Amino acid sequence: MSFLHPTEGEYVQHHLTYLQLNLHTMKLGNGGFWTLNIDTLITSVVVGALFLFFFWYVARRATSGVPGRLQNLVEAIFSFVQSMVKEAFHGKNELLVPLSLTIFMWIFLMNFMDLIPVDLIPNVLYIFGVIDFRPVPTDDLNVTAAIALGVFCLIIYYNIKVKGWHLATEILSKPFGWWLLPLNVLFRCLEEVVKPISLALRLYGNMFAGELIFILIALLPWWIQWTLGGIWSLFHILIITLQAFIFMMLTIVYMSMAHESHD
Amino acid sequence: MNINVTLFGELITFAVLVLVTMKYIWPPIMKAMAEREKKIVDGLEAAERGEKSLVLAEKKAKKQLQIAKGEASDIVGQANLRSAQVVEAAKDKAQQEAKKIHELAKSDIATESEKAKQQLKADVANLVVAATEKLIATNIDVATNKELIDKFIAEV
């Protein structure tokens, strides 16, 4: 429990409140749809910039000779992503590998914010007058939905680009044949819509639950926190990596489905 | 769950991240990796080629060594033959020389002994005359005696 928030309810509430900007009044507070979650935006952009800077720094001095430690690390991540794409995707696409890499690294780093002690960033910012701050961007549905929506748009785009008119026949006649045309269309729509929703909710749900458990652990007496906290932290290292990997892998699979006909 | 405008902010962020990765990060690292792969493949090929040429060179060297060995043994054989010939020739020459010297010595000895014989004959005659003179004193005719003695000596 924090010295700033004496009761359990207030403490949990504090950790579940975004730092929001109401775009109607341009003041802090919730303004319905026209609200910016400043904390989410800042953290995700900072983390994304870190990712870009680190990789750009390595890419700028990449050598085909003996690679240094940093280049080794980056190349290991590269070949990991590349092998994943090669395994699941058999078409030709210049975008997919960088896309998968970005998704994996960005989500991983945003998830990683969850491993920073729950009170550290909010309390430090509180000293500077920021009342609420949620430091884990993937703990905000807006982020996960944004990435999922991006992937969804790409799926639609490549479906049309690769299949052309064949896409129409595919939607109308698969999987039940021409006689059940309406059912085919309904099924296809469902199938496509479920993809981004499941992507977004899976990541959000995992990270929200993870963060919530850290908050609850923080409510325990200080001398017992390390037991559950330690176990959950170890477990969470696995979860954040796994969730980033799953998001990337599903993106690759969906993109592969967009490139290949069902027949 | 509250979806708000943040969604679009994040969408833009996502797009920027993907574009920057695709334009500025992916290509150079990919290039470096592909180049290294090529280098390694080339290196392996070169190593294989080197190994092959080494085997070839070893074979060649062995062959040459064998040829050289054969030549050497030929040369040694010839040398042996030649030396035997030389020795034989020298032996012949030495024998001839020895024979020659022997002959020469033989003839020398013959003349010397003849000479000595003559000398001896003369000396003996004189000695006998002198001795006889002393023995028989004066009254003997010297001329007759000399004749007798010479006769005797010739018979010797």
Determine the angle formed by the axes of helices A96-112 and A69-88, rounding to 10 degrees.
Answer: 120
User: B25 vs A59: CB contact, 8 Å cut-off?
Assistant: yes
Distance between CA A42 and CA A39 in Å, rounded? 5
The answer to whether the complex's ipTM is over 0.95 is no
Q: Nearest CA to CA, how far is B41 from chain A (Å)?
A: 13
Least CB-CB distance to B29: which of A35, A75, A143?
A: A75
Indicate if A134 belongs to the active site: no
The structure tokens 């190593």 sit at B47
Q: What is the pLDDT of residues B91-136, one digit of tens each?
A: 999 999 999 999 999 999 999 999 999 998 888 888 888 877 777 7
Determine the angle formed by the axes of helices A141-163 and A165-173, rounding to 10 degrees.
Answer: 110
Query: What does the radius of gyration of chain A's CA atoms come to, in whole angstroms?
Result: 22
User: A55 vs B25: CB contact, 8 Å cut-off?
Assistant: yes
In a structure prediction context, what are the per-residue pLDDT tens digits for chain A, which is 263 residues long? Answer: 455 666 888 888 888 888 888 888 888 888 788 888 888 999 999 999 999 999 999 888 888 888 888 888 998 999 999 999 998 888 888 889 999 999 999 999 999 998 888 888 888 888 888 888 888 999 889 999 999 999 999 999 998 988 888 888 888 877 777 788 888 889 889 989 999 999 999 999 999 999 899 988 888 888 888 888 899 999 999 999 999 999 999 999 999 988 886 54
Strand partners, A21: A28, A36
Q: Which helix (H) or strand (E) holds B85?
A: helix B26-136
Indicate if A111 belongs to the active site: no
Q: B8, B12, B18: which to substitute to probe chain A, counting the most A Cβ within 10 Å?
A: B18
Confidence of residue B137 (pLDDT cuts 50, 70, 90): low
Is A16 in the B-facing interface, judged by CB distances under 8 Å?
Answer: no
Question: What does the DSSP 8-state code read for residue B140?
Answer: S
Domain boundaries of chain B, sorted by first residue: 6-155
For residue B74, what are its two tokens? 């030929």
Buried b (16+ CB within 10 A) or exposed e, A89-122: beeebebbbbbbbbbbbbbbbbbbbbeeebbebb
B→A interface, C-beta within 8 Å: 1-11, 13-18, 20-22, 24-36, 39
From the candidates A30, A72, A83, A198, which is the catalytic residue?
A198
Q: Where are the alpha helices (DSSP H) in chain A?
A: 8-15, 38-60, 69-88, 96-112, 120-127, 141-163, 165-173, 181-218, 225-259
From the candidates A111, A206, A256, A261, which is the catalytic residue?
A206
Distance between CA A50 and CA A112 in Å, rounded? 13
A 156-195 near B (Cβ less than 8 A)? none
Q: What three-state secondary structure class fits A35?
A: strand
Q: Nearest CA to CA, how far is B48 from chain A (Å)?
A: 21
User: B4 vs A37: CB contact, 8 Å cut-off?
Assistant: yes
User: A149 vs B30: CB contact, 8 Å cut-off?
Assistant: no
User: A102 vs B21: CB contact, 8 Å cut-off?
Assistant: yes
